[in-house]
Structure 1
Amino acid sequence: MTLISPPLELLPNTSPLIGDRRPTDSSAGMHKHRYAATGQVTSQVPMAGKPEMDAAVAAARAAQPSWAAMPVTERRRLLMRLADLIEADADRLTNLGTIDNGTPQQIVQSAPSLTAELFRYNAGWTDRIEGSVIPTWPGDALDYAVEKPFGVVAIIIPWNGPLIACGMTGAPALAAGNTVVIKPPELAPYSALRIGELALEAGIPPGVLNVVPAGPVGGDALVRNPGVDKIHFTGSGATARIVLSAALETLTPVGLELGGKSANIVFEDTDISTALPTMMSGIIALSGQGCINGTRLLVQDRIYDEVVEAAGRFITQVPIGDPYDGSTAIGPVVNDTACQRILGMITRATEDGARVISGGERLNGDYADGYFVAPTILADVPSDSYIAQNEVFGPVLSILRFSDETEAVKIANDTEFGLAAYIQTNDLKRAHRVADRLDVGNVWINGFNGIPVSAPFGGNKHSGHGRLGGKWGIREFTRPRNIWVSL
């Protein structure tokens, strides 16, 4: 079988978008981007260094005063226009999403509409950002607080969902009156670059939205730039520490959306056949490369063996393979390094006592040149083992046993992460009790239907701080100014 070749003619201009300029020089060299399903090079992507990042920040700073002063109705109109163009460009953006990181077409095809909705929703906040009148004491005075944009926001997005990340972070930042410099990673630069092109086409002034692909050199230059007023980083905890350390030089505030090791708690009263798709979503969605994926399946004693058996049967029915095959649900992981890391963690898990129910190897044959790891189910995983405590970011599901509600909560909370959790039960009282005791930012009960654009999203502990989505996402990119007037 020959894998379908990606339509590389749809690739955008790979040069950085700085204002309305596309400089072709690259101070940090070129990156050979590879298509994850075949390993083939898709293009040479210029990597920004300090000169390009400095120019992007300067362009954003020059554009920010007029963008913030623009009538809110006009700012809303332009962001709505961008949403329309994203929706109209859905086919191309879907293809770019697959070329970026190998996400199957079946999965990534929903990303453009969600991204458009994120821009529309946040555009609606432009005339709803309100202040407060503050009671004063002593004396006659008027005291009020108004919400103001930070100014220039540096946004570092992840490779696993770059298009949606542009909407989750870029849309509220722009709606609040900030200008932005988006740094997509070298592993997945295309979707974000296309968003930058569509922004100019929508009439958003040059410099308001800059898109500059870069690796560590350019990223470091961006977060150290004194012209940046706020940083928002989505990615791993290890890189977050580097970002925070660099931001210390200028005391720039940093918002963080980091990793997870989300528990999916299955109580004995669960209808297994109904809940199984949600139980297995952690191994399927984005080939397991999602921060909110429920990668720890905690199952109560009485139904433990039944769930393990059902999970093993279920995964054999899930199509894995060519991202351009419309039936494929699980595609490759992002690169060869990821393959080696994931397989190493599986080996270590077996050494720690875990039992392999399915998978555990790299796919060969037609898929040998790509980065495919067979979806892997591990049973009898000790709760203190390395794989139960650390993010795999690959198609690996760890199944753990618990006896009662108290133990389930203890195991679920016993990691350094606190992003998300899932609960499967027909006992509504139990569902509310357990949800209240989980130290996470997001809980889903008896299902998962995505992240509503109007709801807060973010984590506790080492999963980050700050929130995106809804009014909380707008507040992430504004700060209050208090004004006192003597009467």
Structure 2
Amino acid sequence: MNDIVCISPVDGSEVARRRIASDGEIAQALAAARQAQREWSRVPLAERKAKVLAFLEVLRTQNDEIVPELAMQMGRPVRYGGELRSLEERVRVLVELSDEALAPTTPAERPGLRRMIKRVPAGIVLVIAPWNYPYLTAVNAVVPALLAGNAVLLKHAAQTLLVGERFQSAMDLAGLPKHLFTALNLDHGAAEKLIASRSVDHVNFTGSVAGGRAIEQAAAGTFTTLGLELGGKDPAYVRSDADFDFAVEQLVDGAFYNSGQCCCGIERIYVHEQVYDRFVDAFADLTSRYQLGSPLAQETTLGPMAAVRFADTVRAHTREALVQGARPLIDAKRFSANKAGTAYLMPQVLVDVDHTMRVMMEESFGPVVGIMKVPSDEAAVELMNDSPYGLTASVWTADVDAAERIGDGIATGTVFMNRCDYVDPSLAWTGVKDTGRGASMSRLGFEALTRPKSFHLRIEH
């Protein structure tokens, strides 16, 4: 039987090797989860919330171990402290939202009747989580699914195998009922077979467009509900009235944090012609200050990408753009750790780009960004919409009304003003076009993990 192997981008060493779950083990996990879910669905919400918060507390106590472990798996520098701060915010907000999100709704009163719509658990939720933010992306579905009364099966990415085990350990230590949460080691084929078997009730997937299509095909005819967050090519527009220094600082971080491996990271920037030259110079200067190196070193601000093949994709996009006339602003001599054939890849800023180039149209998911000059808001919106994706878009301006007006014209799931690369758990996390379908977070995220059940009780006749 094949194994799943995690190879570290830091030094090419083997971090973890795990056996793929057998058909029998998967069937056993499903049967146990189904029974555990029936019992869990009868547990009061207050007790479910307490167990989820206990899970969070376990992860808090383990963070000093988690941070270097995560660096070895996917390359994020230890200086950033892992994902705990955002994780805690997200979990606590979702716990707070659960009371309202899961409460019955009632239509207008009618004499002699008691009417309501309850949100009841979907049943078993399969969460297929990616490696780039392995704790946060898993929590997006795992926590509201448990709060809503579901059982959860977690298939984590091969690159972050140990995260699935951390989740399992934390759930067990938090005292969740046995078999209610199960981390399974599955490859793509096993996951597709599980979905096609009609044994799970909802699938939440974060990953590539190709992966989303494979899941839709596997689920065809099963009537299993799906939540899909797929690709992105998130744009930013800098207006002439933007807080200049703030916009530069935030957009550099939005483009290169986590080596650009962010679902809502900035991959293309449109700058009003009145501030374009100044912006490009400042952006390139700040980018040049990154320190590329081992993520285990405190001075490192840019670690390796998660795998050599991901770095090679970014190199290919950049190389093709240069052949087509793009101009690089960052000197490779500044980054001695930048080496072909490795996962270590320097940040790059490209100008003289256009939408005939893959680097401006396809998801690069790495430390490269293209910057274009635009003459107006209308021109910026047209270019921002010229994409097969639509996850987030940011507008940098001092004019709130203008930001909302521009945002109304952008085909995207979230509009930011003077912020980027952030997930607000109180708002719906969703996308359009090839970015996927469904929503997580907010009240709508709970609705995706439950089904409505209507009660029409005639009390007088």
- Report the TM-score, using the length of structure 1 for normalisation: 0.88
Contact preservation (8 Å) 2:413, 2:430: yes
Change (3 A) 1:346 1:361: farther
Q: Counterpart of 1:268 in 2: which secondary structure?
A: coil
Contact preservation (8 Å) 2:97, 2:442: no
Give a deviation string over 1:342-385, Cα, whole Å, max 9, x none.
Answer: 11111121233322222679976696774111111111111242
User: In structure 1, what is the equivalent of residue 121 of structure 2?
Assistant: 149
User: In structure 2, what is the equivalent of residue 373 of structure 1?
Assistant: 345
Shift of 1:45: 2.3
Structure 2: distance between partners of 1:472 and 1:82: 23
Structure 2: distance between partners of 1:372 and 1:52: 38
User: In structure 1, what is the equivalent of residue 45 of structure 2?
Assistant: 72
User: In structure 1, what is the equivalent of residue 77 of structure 2?
Assistant: 104
Structure 1: distance between partners of 2:27 and 2:331: 47
Structure 1: distance between partners of 2:87 and 2:385: 31
Shift of 1:203: 0.5
State the AA in 2 paired with 1:276. Answer: V
Shift of 1:119: 3.0
Shift of 1:110: 4.6
Corresponding position: 1:477 with 2:449: yes
Contact preservation (8 Å) 1:50, 1:222: no
Structure 1: distance between partners of 2:421 and 2:313: 30
Give a deviation string over 1:426-447, Cα, whole Å, max 9, x none.
Answer: 2333222112222111122123
Structure 2: distance between partners of 1:449 and 1:287: 13
Change (3 A) 1:448 1:393: closer
Contact preservation (8 Å) 2:308, 2:341: no
Change (3 A) 1:34 1:147: same
State the AA in 1 paired with 2:295. Answer: P
Q: Counterpart of 2:158 in 1: which secondary structure?
A: coil
Structure 1: distance between partners of 2:9 and 2:398: 40
Contact preservation (8 Å) 2:339, 2:345: no
294-303 vs 228-237, greater mean Cα deviation: 294-303
Shift of 1:53: 3.0
Change (3 A) 1:59 1:363: farther
User: In structure 1, what is the equivalent of residue 166 of structure 2?
Assistant: 194
Corresponding position: 1:412 with 2:384: yes
Contact preservation (8 Å) 2:128, 2:205: yes
State the AA in 1 paired with 2:14. Answer: V
User: In structure 1, what is the equivalent of residue 424 of structure 2?
Assistant: 452
Q: Counterpart of 2:160 in 1: which secondary structure?
A: coil
Change (3 A) 1:328 1:204: same
User: In structure 2, what is the equivalent of residue 42 of structure 1?
Assistant: 15
Change (3 A) 1:99 1:379: same
Corresponding position: 1:461 with 2:433: yes
Change (3 A) 1:67 1:359: farther
Give a deviation string over 1:390-431, Cα, whole Å, max 9, x none.
Answer: 100110111112110101111011111110011112233322
Q: How does 1:344-383 map to 2 (within 5 A)?
A: 344-358=316-330, 370-383=342-355
Q: Which structure 2 residue ranges, 5 or more long, are not aligned?
A: none
Give a deviation string over 1:278-321, Cα, whole Å, max 9, x none.
Answer: 22123311101111011101111222222222222111112221
Q: Counterpart of 1:273 in 2: which secondary structure?
A: helix
Structure 1: distance between partners of 2:406 and 2:98: 37
- Report the TM-score, using the length of structure 2 for normalisation: 0.93
Q: Which structure 1 residue ranges, 5 or more long, are not aligned?
A: 1-26
Change (3 A) 1:393 1:250: same
Shift of 1:156: 0.4
Change (3 A) 1:120 1:269: closer
User: In structure 1, what is the equivalent of residue 155 of structure 2?
Assistant: 183
Contact preservation (8 Å) 1:284, 1:329: no
Match of 2:310 among 338, 357, 364: 338
Corresponding position: 1:89 with 2:54: no
Identity of aligned residues (%): 26
Q: How does 1:194-273 map to 2 (within 5 A)?
A: 194-273=166-245
Instruction: Please report the RMSD computed on the Cα atoms of aligned residues, expressed in angstroms.
Output: 2.3
Change (3 A) 1:241 1:265: same
User: In structure 1, what is the equivalent of residue 407 of structure 2?
Assistant: 435
